[in-house]
Chains A and B, each alone.
Chain A
C-alpha cells in the first residue's frame, strides 16, 4: 500500500492538477478587482471584458430562445479585435445583430449554435464569406450537453432580472437556460458574468446561488425578451380549425392522450382553442390534454380557465403572461415568491421522456414523412423541435397511449411516443408542402453539412395530419406502405397525385388512413366560431384582465 502511494506520487510529481483553477485566478488578478466585490461598473464593461478574455476563449453568450444578455453582447462587440479575437461562441439562439457583428469584426471565429431564426440569412452569408466557421448546429439540449463534456465555456455572459451584492441571481419567469450555462461554467473554473436589471438587497427568490457567479453588472436597460409564443387567434383559418378537430377526435381521443407538448404555430393554437368548445361537446374534459410541457401560450388560457389543464411545465415564459401565471399557481411551476420558474433543459427532458405526444407544424414534408422548416438561402438551425419530435428509445415506463402504438405481436416489444406532424398540403402562394425532395438537402450540401438538416425524421413520425385526413403511420408495415399512406392524404401535391385510389381505399378500410367523415368530423362544421377565443382581446377577457398582451398584439 505504502509502496504504491509512493510510486503514484512519483509518477505525477511533475504535473499540476490545478491548471484551470490557476488560470482563472490569473485572469481575476489581471482584472485587479478588489476581492469580494462582485459588482462591476457598467461603464467599464468593454475594458473589463478585454482584461478577462483571451483569444480563442470559448464564450457562452445568452443568446436564449427568448431573453438576451444584450448589454453584454453590445459590450463584447466593442472590444478591440487586435487584443481579443478568434473567440469560439457557444450560443443557443442567434437573434441579435451584434451576435454576428462579432464575426464581421473578427472578434469571434467559430460558432456552435442551435437556432438562428431572425439572423439566418446573415449566418449563411458570413459562412459563404469565410468569416465564420461552424462547429456544429444542434438542438438546444445537445449544445448544453456538450458544455458538460468537451465544450465547457471559459466565460459565460448571462442575464437575470435582479441580483444582490453576493451575486445571488433572481432570473424572473424567464429562467430558461441560465442555470445550465452557469453550472457548466462555474464548476469547471470558468468565469460567470451576469447582467441584471437591478441590484437589490433582498431577492424575491434565489434562482442561482451567488457562489456560482463571479460578477454582476447592472445593465443600461432591462434585458431584451421577445414574445415568441403569442399567436393572434384572429389569424387562425378554418382549415386549421378542421385539422384541429381531426386531431382531437382522431388522435387525442382515440389514443387517450393526457400528457403532451405542442409546437408553436397557428395549427396548434387552433387545437388549444378548440378544447373548451369542440372538446367539451365531445365530453373529453379530464380525459385528454391534462399535463403539458409547454411555454405559457396565451391561447391555452381558455382551456385552463375551463378546467381542462392540470399542470404546465415551461421551457421559458411569455411576455404578458406573468400576472396570469402568478394567479394560477395550481397550474404552473412557481417559486415561493409566486413567479414562474421555467427551465429549458429540464422541460426538454420532460418533453422527451415525460409526455406521450408531440405535435407540430411543418413547412415541408417528403414522401417518407421526413420534415423540415429549412428554406433555401437560410441557415436557421434546429431549436428544440427535434428533441420533442422524436421517439426516445430510452424510455421504459409505459402509459396507455405509449402502449397503444404497439402493432407487433411478439414477446419483446416496446411502446412508442406519438409524434404528430401537421401539414396543410399547400402553403400560401400555392407552393406544395408535401414534396419530392426537401430543400434541406440542398441547404445541407451548400453549407457543407455532413447530413441534410432534417427537423423531424419520418421514421419517428407516428401520425401525419393534413386537411385531407390522417395517416396513422405507426400502423404501416413497410416503407412502401408508409409512402402510400402519406400520398393518400397529400391532396393535389405532386406526391398526392401519385396516390392510387384502390390502394388508398384499402388503407382506409384497414384504418391506416382516415378521412374527416371516418372520424365523425364534418368539414362544414369547421368554423372559426368554434374557437373559444377569436382575438387577443378575447384571450385578455378570458384571463379576467390578468393577461396583458404586448402592444404589438393589441388592436385597441
Chain B
C-alpha cells in the first residue's frame, strides 16, 4: 500500500463510528432513520425489575432494554436494543416482557395491514438468573412472537459484541430471518465461562480467547452459515445492512425451518471425535461459506 493510500485509509478509519462503543439507546438511534427515534417505555416510565432490589441490586429505570419506534428508509420500524452493561444484558421479567410486548404489538399492526419492520439488537447472556422462571417465561414469549411475526415481515437480528448472545436468547437469534454480526460477536447456547465451570477447564479454557472465538465468534458463525452477514464494527455499515436485509424480503425458507438440512449436518458430526472451528468449516463445507 502506498503511503498516501495508507493515510487515506487511516482517515477513513478515524472517521468510522464504532457500533460496539455505543450504549443500547445510541445503537437504536444509529439504526433508525435520522430524527425518527421515539422511545417506548423509556426510563421516565420507571418500569423497573421488582425482583432485583429484593436481592440487593439497584434496578435500572428501563430494566436494560430500549424500545424504539421510528422508520427505516421511511417505513415504520421497531428496534429492541439490549443494554449489555446492565446486568450483562440479561433478560428479566420486565425487560423480556418489554421486548415480547413490543413484538406482539408489531404483529397486531402487521395483521392489520400496517407492516412494522422489527430489529433486535441482541447483546445478552440470556436469562437473568435472579429472575429465573419469569425470565425464561418471557424468553419463550419472545420466541413465539418472532415466529408469528416473521410470517409477515423478516425479523432482523444484530449481534455486535462485546457480550455476545447466549442462552435462551441465542435461540431467539436463531429464529431471526436474518442475522448480522461483527467479528467481535459471539453466538452460542452456553457461554464459555459456563462451559468451563460445568465441564472443567480441559473441556474449554474460557480465557483462551482465540479458541473461544474460533468456535463461536462472528467469523466462524458466518463461515459455517449460521449467520448471514459479517461486518466491520461500523455503525453506518450495520445500519445499511439492516436496510438491505429488509429489502431482500422474506427468506425462501427460514433457517430454523430447514430441519432436514440441519439434521443431515448434525448427523455428519462424530461426537467421539472432538471438533474444532476449522474442522466444522471443513465438515459443513459446500452448504456453508468458505
Contacts and interface: CB of A to CB of B under 8 A. Distances in A.
Contact of B209 (A535, A541, A555): A555
B183 interface: yes
A306 interface: yes
A551 B217 CA distance: 13
A555 B161 contact: yes
B152 to A, nearest CB: 35
Interface stretch (B14-22, B28-36, B137-145, B258-266): B14-22
Contacts of B133: none
B10 A542 contact: yes
Contacts of A305: 6, 10
Contact of A537 (B9, B184, B210): B184
A551 B1 contact: no
A556 B208 contact: no
A551 B6 contact: no
Interface residues of A, number: 22
A553 B20 contact: no
Contacts of A552: 207-210
Contact of B20 (A306, A535, A544): A535
A476 interface: no
A556 B217 contact: yes
Nearest to B210: A551
A556 B21 contact: no
Interface string B107-146: 0000000000000000000000000000000000000000
A537 B184 CA distance: 9
A120 interface: no
A255 interface: no
B219 A528 contact: no
B60 to A, nearest CB: 19
Contacts of B62: none
Interface in A290-316: 302, 305-306
Interface in A517-533: 528-529, 532
A544 B9 CA distance: 9
A541 B210 contact: no
Contacts of B17: 529
Nearest to B1: A544
Interface string B169-198: 000000000000001100000000000000
B154 interface: no
A351 interface: no
B162 interface: yes
A24 B1 CA distance: 56
B93 interface: no
A541 B14 CA distance: 11
B233 interface: yes
B123 to A, nearest CB: 14
The secondary-structure label for the interface of chain A is helix
A541 B217 contact: no
A396 to B, nearest CB: 41
B210 A234 contact: no
Interface string A249-288: 0000000000000000000000000001100000000000
B13 interface: yes
B18 A556 contact: no
A302 B217 CA distance: 27
B168 interface: no
Contacts of A306: 10
A552 B161 CA distance: 17
Contact of A528 (B21, B161, B183, B213): B21
Given A529-B21, A535-B20, A555 B207 contact: no
B218 interface: yes
Interface in A471-515: none
B9 to A, nearest CB: 8
A555 B162 contact: yes
A21 interface: no
A324 to B, nearest CB: 13
A110 interface: no
Contact of B218 (A529, A544, A551, A556): A556
Given A529-B21, A534-B21, A537-B233, A554 B14 contact: no
B213 A554 contact: yes
Contacts of A555: 161-162, 183-184, 209, 213, 217
17 contacts: A529-B18, A534-B18, A534-B21, A535-B20, A537-B184, A538-B13, A542-B10, A542-B13, A551-B208, A551-B210, A552-B208, A552-B209, A555-B161, A555-B209, A556-B184, A556-B217, A556-B218
Given A529-B17, A535-B18, A552-B210, 13 more contacts: A276-B14, A306-B10, A529-B18, A529-B21, A532-B14, A534-B21, A535-B20, A544-B6, A551-B208, A553-B209, A555-B213, A555-B217, A556-B184
Interface of A: 234, 276-277, 302, 305-306, 528-529, 532, 534-535, 537-538, 541-542, 544, 551-556
